[in-house]
Structure 1
Amino acid sequence: DRALARGGRAAAAAFLERAVELTTDPATRAGRALAAAEARFAAGAIAKAAQLLDTAEIGPLDPAQLAQVQRLRARLAFALNTGRSVVPPLLEAAGRLERLDDGLSRATYLAAIAAAINAGRLGGDDLRRAALAGRGAPRGEDAVGRLLTGLSTWVLDGHAASVSLLADAVEEIGMETDLELAWLSSAVTHEIWDSGAYFGRSEDLLSHARASGRLSLLAAALSFRATALIHAGRFEEAATILDEADTLGAMVGVEPHPASAVILAAYRGREEEATAVIDAALGYARSSGVGWNLGVAAYSRAVLSNGLGRYREALAAAQEAIEFEDLAVMQWALTELVEAAARSGADDVAAAGRDRLVARTSVVDSPWARGTAAYADALTDTSGESEKHYRTAIDELTSAGMTLYAARAQLLLGEWLRRENRRTEGRQQLQAAHELFASIGAEAFAERAARELAATGGVARTRTRGAEVDLTAQEAQIARLAAAGRTNPEIGAVLFLSPRTVEWHLRKIFTKLDISSRRELAAALRDQ
């Protein structure tokens, strides 16, 4: 108990295992073996936890203990294989648990839906079957019950019907008490377009997984945080976290989820390296039965191709990505599809993609949703309001903390201005986009911006990274928000910084730009 109180789960498990060895009473021995298995699982020792469950099952076990054993078996199976093969045993365990413990039954149905989501297009009818079974389970108003209801609705009734339910579920889940649900709720934040929850929960999940010693959950926490950092334009931090995930995977014997590494490689834009990573992810997806990664790989190929300016290839990849409605991936891929289709002259495809994307954003009122809708509207506009839509996209996506997409919207605005023969204005936008892409390491998009900049008669300024005249990605984001009239508390709320930290960053920004007030920010940024 003292070891658990200090977060020492591995030490607690060792004490419990010793207690098992010293216990002669069969019932007491079985109960202690079950407790030790729980502790070993939390500490990331999957194989050892399975051995201890074997000991616990020798029994005798009362019905409640039997329910715990069945639930832990399901959790172990999911940790080792999140693909299609684990869905049937999870559904079977959930059905048995209905007769023993409603709460454990709902949690196991939720795990079955999560596994079916991961199986994706390789799972056949598994996702629908799991959702139907989950909907038929006794309803619960706790965090598990609400998330089960929300995801069952998402599968069976569609995105629009599920948004409010999923938002309620995410709000209900607390990191302290529902840590095992937090990784799933992090993915759900994409469906509800809640960037605050996305960035905040990914950070909190990682902090709590580390502080609690839950190594069985740390790998997922690292992966989700890395993806958030990529979208925030913090590539170096994301790479560091992915290195940690690799080390952890080797230590606990569970392969790290490859999705974040694939997305990062695509955005870095080094073609040969990214293609190899994407191809490896495809192999992993097929061998493991995790079809969700097929969607991620196709989406990542679309990102890479859009960055390289190969729009027909990007369109083909994006169309492949949206063949199945993968959680979170669908909305990413639709954005790539609209851009690729618009740039390759497939206007009808672009318009259809825009309609699908706007249908998903129109049921949510958030900066991320509004910015994404404006992004698609700008690319497909036929009413003469493209510029307004582009500027809205830049402002809203910056406000949402989606630095990467905001920079892409700025690149698109610069390209549009050049084609409208407004070269001076286009040059300003393209220069700013180029410098941000170059500073964060998005090499293909930086090259695309440089080519467009050259077409305006400009020259891409390549500054030494880290030089005093450069704004970091975070400083550029703070500067844009301040130039848009946001107060320090408002900026802090968007970027999860204290107002005092925002003020500190602004002083550095003023020094670098050689200005003395916020009133000068907009002009200084245009001149960069």
Structure 2
Amino acid sequence: MLSAAHRLAAIDPRWSRDCFLDALEMGLVVGRANGVMDTVLAEARSAPPADEPDVLDALVLLTGSGHQAAAPLLRRVLTERALWTRRPALATMIAGELWDLDAHAEITRWLRTTGRNTGSPWLLRLGLAQEAVAATHRGELATAATLVGEEEAIADAFSDAPTAYARVHLLAWRGELGPLDSALSDAGARGKGQLVANIHWAKSVLYNARGDYPAALAEARAAVDAGDLYLAGMALPEQIEAAVRCGEDAADALAELCARSSASGTAWARGVTACARALVSGAEDDYVEAVEAGSPAPYRARAHLLYGEWLRRAGRRKDARTQLRTAHESFADMGVLGFAQRAADELKATGEVARSRSADAFETLTAQEAHIARLVSTGATSKEVAARLFLSPRTVDAHLRNVFRKLGIHSRRDLRQR
């Protein structure tokens, strides 16, 4: 694609620019984005100029001049429907780079609707996977699991590999290390650098939750160093927390995060940055800002956790209990079990025992079983579920038998009641 871009430069400038963007989009779609963006954009600096600044110009500006310079143009091109229709993977990544969940949600709704209306499995799967990632970061883990299950069911129907990064994000917040290790080995063997970077980020979240800060620091640095759109910025808060806990300097990472978040201006970006700044500064005002910023639920709960830990170490046990209790209850209700345990341990250190959370048999279902169970519980027939998931009715019935066995029920009526 890069060769074509250069050969077309003098013949058809617009087509030449499209080839540069095709190379970027291809790297995202096949999961080999690591290094691809830098290579493409370095060569794209010599691309023929566009009639007016476009997404290629925005990305070249981002890599050359940074987020403050590029953010206005990135926000403008993100509102253009043409970017969604022609380069949907790139559009979702830019929304993530700007920490903009609202824009991301609008794009994913369009992807799912268009995918269903046109019968495009690829658009539908991309929309499902991206919406699953967004649901995970909103703390809606059950919804995310359902969306992951549907994407994997459609992939299976076409004998294709699932879009693994959505499940990786879910595993990170659930605190499941074993599957992440297996996924890392498989992604490395297949040369999927972007998925490898996603897994490094996921493991940094998980290790921070467990308090294994040296391991978290190594994983976060690996994710940041990959330099991928969206993911490098997401990994910076993990690197900062781990570095501070390890007694290492986090000033440069904080400066980079601040540059990114101030260019974004969203509540999510402000809250995450306030949390990171509080860890570095140790200032109570920063912890208060992090709690009050209006970040998505897991990040708000994490702000309560960090504030509670700081208060406990300052000898303010009563104030600490309030923050830690809020953190524990929020994490437990979301199913963010690693951080829930960390909050429970901190709460115990203040002299209070966290309420226990009883296990739900529904959590033993696979993502695909859970999705089929939810569809059937709304009254959908096996034939209707099969059509939606590109499966055979016989396969749906087989999954349904597993659901009944795991939940200890015997009929669709029992499932609706459950």
Q: Give me the TM-score of the superposition, normalised by structure 2.
A: 0.78
Query: RMSD in angstroms over aligned alpha carbons?
Result: 2.4
In the TM superposition, residue 244 of structure 1 has moved relative to its aligned partner by 1.2
295 and 129 in structure 1: CA distance in 2 versus 1, 3 angstrom threshold: closer
Percentage of matched positions with identical amino acids: 36
SS in 2 for 1:187: helix
295 and 96 in structure 1: CA distance in 2 versus 1, 3 angstrom threshold: same
1:403 aligns with 2:316: no
Question: Structure 2 counterpart of 1:166, which letter?
Answer: L
Count of residue correspondences: 358
391 and 438 in structure 1: CA distance in 2 versus 1, 3 angstrom threshold: same
The one-character-per-residue Cα deviations of 1:456-481 (angstroms, maximum 9, x if unpaired) are: 11121235689xxxxxxxxxxxxxxx
Question: Structure 1 counterpart of 2:285, which letter?
Answer: K
1:233 aligns with 2:139: yes
Question: Structure 1 counterpart of 2:54, which letter?
Answer: R
Q: Which residues in structure 2 correspond to 1:80-479 (within 5 Å)?
A: 90-95=1-6, 102-116=13-27, 118-121=31-34, 123=35, 126-140=36-50, 146-173=54-81, 178-270=84-176, 274-275=177-178, 277-346=179-248, 348=249, 350-382=250-282, 386-398=283-295, 402-462=296-356
In the TM superposition, residue 198 of structure 1 has moved relative to its aligned partner by 2.4
Higher CA-based Rg:
1
Q: Distance in 1 between matches of 2:207 and 2:42?
A: 38
- Contact between 2:324 and 2:347, CA under 8 Å: does it hold in 1? yes
In the TM superposition, residue 120 of structure 1 has moved relative to its aligned partner by 4.0
Q: Distance in 2 between matches of 1:217 and 1:449?
A: 39
In the TM superposition, residue 103 of structure 1 has moved relative to its aligned partner by 4.4
Q: Distance in 2 between matches of 1:228 and 1:171?
A: 18
Q: Distance in 2 between matches of 1:224 and 1:257?
A: 10
In the TM superposition, residue 410 of structure 1 has moved relative to its aligned partner by 0.9
SS in 2 for 1:136: coil
- Contact between 2:139 and 2:334, CA under 8 Å: does it hold in 1? yes
Q: Distance in 2 between matches of 1:174 and 1:330?
A: 26
> Which residue of the partner structure matches residue 406 of structure 2?
none
Question: Structure 1 counterpart of 2:306, which letter?
Answer: L
Q: Distance in 1 between matches of 2:8 and 2:155?
A: 31
Segments of 5+ residues of structure 2 without an aligned counterpart are 361-418
SS in 2 for 1:183: helix
Q: Which has the higher contact order (CA 8 A, sep 6+)?
A: 2
Segments of 5+ residues of structure 1 without an aligned counterpart are 1-89, 467-528
The one-character-per-residue Cα deviations of 1:210-252 (angstroms, maximum 9, x if unpaired) are: 2332212222222111110000001111111111111111223
In the TM superposition, residue 104 of structure 1 has moved relative to its aligned partner by 4.3
Question: Structure 2 counterpart of 1:359, which letter?
Answer: A
Question: Structure 1 counterpart of 2:200, which letter?
Answer: A
* Bigger shift: residues 321-330 or 448-457: 321-330
Q: Distance in 2 between matches of 1:392 and 1:465?
A: 34
Q: Give me the TM-score of the superposition, normalised by structure 1.
A: 0.63
The one-character-per-residue Cα deviations of 1:176-199 (angstroms, maximum 9, x if unpaired) are: xx4242332111112223232123
Question: Structure 2 counterpart of 1:265, which letter?
Answer: L
Question: Structure 1 counterpart of 2:2, which letter?
Answer: L
Q: Distance in 1 between matches of 2:106 and 2:60?
A: 25
